[in-house]
Structure 1
């Protein structure tokens, strides 16, 4: 019987070669990826003790591709947890139910294989692999996202080799791999046979620094045997182990990823070198690279593909890197394990700062009060050290790697001190990060996850309170305040959001202490699935019949699972774009603020466009000045762009900064930044002034000014009380005919027909409609739900019944002979709280209908918090049902993408068009989406239907969809949403912001809709 004690033994492995650098060379190698024989068994015993025998007849076994995860190849099922272990917490023991995959491959050694050693390399096996070659047991390894090798020189045959690998889903190593991700077992990275010719170099370390004061590069390549370093471009030919200084070097950075390519020769082998000269340091409480401060505009990146899980090919990785560069992302935290080595080569080539994180997370021990946590248990020291050593040795030669991270969410323990000291001795050239030990004794950074904006401001000023367990004024407290701050996770991108990205960026750029942050996270972890009738969708943890699971928590990326950019990614790209372009029309200046850390602006061109109400009237180009990094310059507005009057409506100037030449990630003309400013208006804003406002505005000014925007605020001013509205103002134009009249069973006002009993508009210019009615409900976003009971606004909304408002019409009457007045009370069952609304309709001279809405709260609105927060409204506006034939929308306002009060910076002011269906964002879990703030006017059209036009007084927000908010609320997957046969139009005065409370701070008060009086106005018209 095979001894299976290794599965639960805390030892990291046995029989393996020592860790070393990953490199490319001209030595022969045989890729062993492909179709392997495979059989899955329910326990760690696998198919039994004889499975590795070379003469075993496996012809009736199934085949499986390698690399792959067997749970995505038709065997067993994937499991998702966020923090909990999916097996009993009894380290290092495991349940008997331990699915085990037995793999077998037959292969021949290639002809011409050189004398020397032969090495068998596995880049990644989850979670533990025991390996045999030709019946000889080589050993085993744990550490799923780390490579391991065996010397197979004495066991390799010219032909008929049989490689057998037994892979266990669970092992003792699983206790160190409780990251927020799918548990996906199998041989999921490449398998290779590598020749190590006689006299070849087995391992080497490139030490390439940069002295910024004299632009000198320093280089030494250490190797286990003497070799020759050659870099033809530098005229360099020097033995290993020799220090050289090279004048006039171009340093490597994420903005200018300069690589000097050469070779390292020893024996008959040539190893490829890609040398990037750069020096990383922490000085004066700041992170510096090549003597200059850097600001990470980063993302946390799990490896994920909806079909292959963590099994990514190079082209998919390249696609990720290109998307990051195109969206201005300059840094990646490899959450929470080292990535495939090819990803780091791409980061070297394209330019991304990398925080390389070790494959250590013990988060599930939180449910045991951290008792038995491996970093605090000496028995696990070797396993923890092994993982750090394998990361550092593999990735030490990549210039993109500028920070080592010891792991994630593993509390504290003496082991972290030991591995920190080992890294500093092995590689003193890079600083070290670890967030969860609040003493920060083993970190060169103060670091937190998901602080509020107020907390971040305090940190920037080095005035943050001492963490729990740290004595204020102690040595640890003083040291921490002197450290640079790394925001390792923030802005949880789950569902619709995150909000406040501009607010966070303003703070991160406002204090020298900050070296940037990493949004959680890059991509949704949805797995492709199909319904019984073949409809595709993306599965989340809650779609798997297994407990515990993390439900939808894996759907938290800036990319959807199929790598489609989300609105959140577009908002992040705008928040971090490398040039801030601000238009000061009154002064006649354009201010360019260079947000690059290294580059000037000489590589960009500027183009400009002037639009009147979204219609282009003039355009041109000019070259920007070479503004140095982190500097600003004022540029006169082009003479042709200036104007004192708009031909119609609002005149806007848009300035775009584009690439002057192609790069490896974008073509010439690719937009890297834009800014807008309003130059003029032909008429003042419609509507009376805001003198006499009843209560404060619905949303106070939205934090800091928008980056690069000089436009008006996000929410129109609250209209004044309706006193005197019948006498003056834009909504009180003289009617063209007499007031409302009863015609049959309808009350007629110009082109509009109302139901006399309910006051609802039922026909408008031949168009069948229903409404409008007061609407305060939205299908909750993931962020509305908060994190468990924390920041759960939805609990409060549902508790008071905002999702079940009932409407009562108290009065329908004419007023002043030319107006229709409808008084409505809207409130939920079992509550006294309600909103009283007065809707006043008036017929304007142009046959449009002017509508003013006055809303007053009454009854007992909760003064005490529910779910930790006082009640505010999800939205405040009107909803109408329209014919299902409406299929197109055109509007003037912000667009083209969806916008919310705290997520609108990526949207320009302009004229846009879209199909009704395209106005919906297909979030994998249905929720509120598709809103458009600051809309001046909207037109809806459809074949055979008149055009419905809505004009704001001055602005409104709109959503258009083929299902109600209630249907959106009830759906759990996009395929459950069905066309209702109608188009539902929401015209909102205000809607709550997004935030990122699904794993983050509460939504700031300024982005909520308080319970108070409101008044707003619209005009509706029909044409065609």
Structure 2
């Protein structure tokens, strides 16, 4: 799905700001047709932002079900004769969009965009009532999964199996945009390198039969290649490659030509680079690449998962300062602005679906839970798999053209050693490869699924492991942890002979807590814990990356194991460095020197 943009043939209006806001506490909003008139409410909510931490009312924070956002929108009068769309960058986890009295779109999946053509329902120069209903419910057949408990008094509580807070609402932007009736509908780009030349293969989908013209310009604006046709290959002589830490972006412009005139124009940044797995190496532009960085979260105080450009820039500044060259979009697709920033600044991304919590032994963390079979008709089932497949489709459709994205992760910490795991995951791995043969695929393996017991690792190109020796296992005993970690990593190397990335390793750390004995939870323990892991990583030939869990402290559900959230961050939630940040900087900024 192409992101809306302003071009010679397209215009867009950003609808961010304060919207009227109302909580459907009685679960009657749809039958009472709240969308059919102005919301009766005194509340206003900011867009983009999660709504949970905005208000002081605990009932709003803990609400399970639908909330309603509403505002009036005026259509620019110059849009006569154009198609008019409303686009929602994300509605967590289900969205329903109404124009005046009519439902125009419904979408399930909280982290990918959707839109509706509303041309026949609005008038250029006129205004309309835009209502967006958002539902935060998770079930066994959603991605991520969850369940809802109903108490005797009717109170509903959302339970979920992932260790981050279930923030909800309109956390990303909402847009109104125009485009011609005959237009570019989609673009798919893949790149290769032939000697000193770059090769850009493209496919342009259009909404109607028309001529297509494609041109590529360099960063100075010079035309470096062009071709006619909806599919083709353009060779760029002496191409400048997109490199980690040294991004270079060409601009591909696709034009739809009708009767000799340009009916539509859409431009796309293109980075020329290759990605491959060769034996135990991960290659970018045919050179071995070693990942340094983090698993992250879209999380900040007050905003929750609301996208914020100030945090975006500051987070990337901190990653540059510490020497990180990569991150994983744990555990869901991030805002498109994040991906675009990574493209422009040469940051490498492992792009992940929202398939987290497919493991009923986890119980919302690593702390156990009611023993159930993960894969069964009553738990993670065919409906879950269908939702998971759709999540993969939407992720790849949105992010396929980002040069920063070097690998797809289709799940985090599933029950990959349980009966039924292979039947569940094999079709999904096949689907991901079919949708994008140009990138490696992976899943992130949970600590309980060792190289002896995992049932699906052979389906994937890279072994991404989450391991907490010295924290959840061998707590405080780093000597034992070092032995056990190395033994397991060597087992993965010997059995599969594929690249290994540690996608999570970390220790909860209370900022300001110090200990001469390196006691767990102290800043000193986080430092020596990371040092132990790094000694092991450096001794394993197949090792190609380390991504610390986590970049910053983040909010979680309540529990005795989580004191105001997960504290494994190298930075605090407000982005202040712990001692480990300086230790990591010393290691990562000296790699290759």
Q: Give the TM-score range, shorter chain.
A: 0.7 to 0.9
The answer for the alignment partner of 1:369 in structure 2 is: 372
1:313, 1:49 → 2: CA distance? 34
- In the alignment, which of 409, 415, 418 is matched to residue 411 of structure 1? 415
More helix by share: 2
Query: What is the alpha-carbon root mean square deviation over aligned residues?
Result: 2.7
> Counterparts of 1:16-35 in structure 2 under 5 Å?
20-22=1-3, 24-26=5-7, 27-35=10-18
The more displaced of 288-297 and 569-578 is 569-578
Equivalent position of 1:444 in the other structure: 461
Q: Deviations over 1:375-429 (max 9, x none)?
A: 9511223211111111111011100000100021222433322221122112111
**Structure 1 residues 464 and 39: alpha-carbon distance in aligned structure 2, compared to 1, 3 A threshold:** closer
Indicate how the Cα distance of structure 1 residues 400 and 373 shifts in structure 2: closer, same or farther if over 3 A, else same. Answer: farther
Q: TM-score, normalised by structure 2?
A: 0.80
Note if contact 2:5-2:11 (Cα within 8 Å) is conserved in structure 1.
no
Residue of structure 1 equivalent to 2:172: 189
**Partner in structure 2 of residue 900 of structure 1:** none
SS of the residue corresponding to residue 385 of structure 1 reads helix
Q: Which range moved further: 565-574 or 349-358?
A: 565-574
For the residue of structure 1 that corresponds to 2:120, the secondary structure is coil
Q: Distance in 1 between matches of 2:561 and 2:117?
A: 40
Q: Residues 279, 499 of structure 1: CA spacing in aligned structure 2 closer, same or farther, 3 A cutoff? A: same
Counting only pairs closer than 5 Å after superposition, residues 44-123 of structure 1 correspond to structure 2 as 44-46=27-29, 48-53=31-36, 56-58=37-39, 60-74=41-55, 76-77=57-58, 98-113=64-79, 115-123=81-89
Match of 1:494 in 2: 509
Does structure 1 conserve the Cα–Cα contact (< 8 Å) formed by 2:92 and 2:136? Answer: yes
Task: Report what 1:993 is aligned to.
Answer: none
Corresponding residue to 2:215 among 229, 249, 255: 229
Q: In structure 2, what is the Cα distance between the partners aligned to 1:220 and 1:57?
A: 49
Note the C-alpha offset of 1:486.
Answer: 1.4
Verify the 8 A CA contact 1:23 1:272 in the aligned structure 2.
no
Query: d(CA) in 1 for partners of 2:374 and 2:315?
Result: 39
Higher relative contact order, structure no. (Cα contacts within 8 Å, ≥ 6 residues apart) = 2
Q: Does 1:128 pair with 2:94?
A: yes
CA displacement 1:468-514 (0-9 Å, x = unmatched): xxxxxxxxxx7x52211111111335332242434433443444411
1:354 offset after TM fit, Å? 0.4
Q: 1:516 to 1:258 in 2, by over 3 A?
A: same
The SS at the match of 1:390 is helix
Determine which structure has more spread, i.e. the larger CA radius of gyration: 1
Q: Which residue of 2 aligns with 1:427?
A: 436
Within the alignment, does 1:251 sit opposite 2:280 as a pair? no
Residue 326 of structure 2 corresponds to: 331
SS in 2 for 1:45: coil
Larger mean Cα displacement after TM superposition, 497-506 or 307-316: 497-506
1:504 is paired with a residue whose SS is: helix
Deviation at 1:456, TM superposition (A): 4.5
Q: Confirm or deny: 8 A CA contact 1:280 1:289 kept in the other structure.
A: yes
Unaligned stretches of 5+ in structure 1? 1-19, 81-85, 87-96, 466-477, 527-539, 580-593, 596-1024
- 2:473 is matched with which residue? none
Q: Deviations over 1:209-268 (max 9, x none)?
A: 224xx2331111211033422314452122341113333222212122122234332344
Q: 1:373 to 1:132 in 2, by over 3 A?
A: farther
Deviation at 1:115, TM superposition (A): 2.8
Comparing 374-383 with 153-162, which one deviates more in the overlay? 374-383
Which range moves more in the overlay, 356-365 or 266-275? 266-275
Q: Judging changes above 3 Å, is the alpha-carbon distance between structure 1 residues 156 and 498 closer, same or farther for their aligned structure 2 residues?
A: farther
Aligned twin of 1:269 = 264
Does the 8 Å CA contact 2:441/2:462 hold for their aligned counterparts? yes
1:979 alignment partner in structure 2: none
How far apart in 2 are the matches of 1:69 and 1:434? Answer: 28
Report if the CA contact (8 A) 1:43-1:100 is conserved.
Answer: no
Aligned partner of residue 255 in structure 1, secondary structure: coil
Q: Deviations over 1:537-557 (max 9, x none)?
A: xxx755xxxx79844442221
In 1: Cα distance, 2:284 partner to 2:41 partner: 58
CA distance in 2, matches of 1:278, 1:455: 38
Task: Give matches, 1:665-704, under 5 Å.
Answer: none
> 1:78–1:144: structure 2 CA closer, same or farther, 3 Å change rule?
farther
Question: Which ranges of 4 or more aligned residues in structure 1 deviate by more than 6 Å?
Answer: none
* CA distance, structure 1, for counterparts of residue 164 and residue 106 of structure 2: 24
Confirm or deny: 8 A CA contact 2:248 2:271 kept in the other structure: yes
Q: Distance in 2 between matches of 1:227 and 1:109?
A: 30
Partner-residue secondary structure (3-state), 1:235: strand
Q: Aligned partners of 2:492, 2:508: CA distance in 1, in Å?
A: 26
Q: Secondary structure at the match of 2:192?
A: strand
Contact kept? 2:247, 2:345, Cα under 8 Å: yes
Matching of residue 37 in structure 1 with residue 20 in structure 2: yes
Distance of 1:512 and 1:296 partners within structure 2: 14
- 1:486–1:514 Cα contact (<8 Å) kept: yes
Label 1:348 to 1:315 Cα distance change in 2 as closer, same or farther (>3 A).
same
The alpha-carbon distance between structure 1 residues 76 and 549, as it changes in their structure 2 partners (threshold 3 A), is farther
Moved more, 116-125 or 183-192: 116-125
Identify which of 539, 542, 547 aligns with 1:518.
547
SS at match of 1:423: helix
Task: Tell me which residue corresponds to 1:11.
Answer: none
Asked whether the equivalents of residues 22 and 39 of structure 2 are also in contact (C-alpha less than 8 Å), the reply is no
Partner residue of 2:402? 398
Normalized against structure 1, the TM-score is what?
0.47
> How far did 1:364 drift?
6.0
Q: Distance in 2 between matches of 1:363 and 1:498?
A: 31
Distance 2:541 2:359 in 1: 36
What is the Cα deviation at residue 47 of structure 1?
Answer: 7.2
Shift of 1:196: 2.3
Among 103, 119, 122, the alignment partner of 1:156 is: 122
Matched, 1:388 2:392: yes
Give CA-to-partner distance per residue, 1:889-929, whole Å, 9 cap, x none.
Answer: xxxxxxxxxxxxxxxxxxxxxxxxxxxxxxxxxxxxxxxxx
Distance 1:568 1:46, change over 3 A: farther
Q: Which residue is 2:478 aligned to?
A: none
Tell me how far apart the structure 2 counterparts of residues 358 and 342 of structure 1 sit (CA, whole Å).
Answer: 17
1:362-382, CA deviations, whole angstroms, 9 ceiling, x for partnerless residues?
Answer: 256223423456895112232
Provide the rounded CA distance (Å) in 1 between the counterparts of 2:247 and 2:14: 30
In structure 2, what is the Cα distance between the partners aligned to 1:49 and 1:464?
A: 57
Structure 2 residue aligned with 1:238: 227
Deviation at 1:169, TM superposition (A): 2.8
Aligned partners of 2:224 and 2:236 also within 8 Å: no
Number of aligned residues? 512
CA–CA distance in structure 2, aligned partners of residues 130 and 321 of structure 1: 33
Alignment correspondent of 1:359: 354
In structure 2, distance between residues paired with 1:387 and 1:292: 31
Residue pair 2:224, 2:237 contacting (<8 A) in 1 also: no
Report the Cα distance in structure 2 between the residues aligned to 1:300 and 1:564, rounded to whole angstroms.
17
In the alignment, which of 533, 554, 574 is matched to residue 562 of structure 1?
A: 574
The Cα shift of 1:68 comes to 2.0
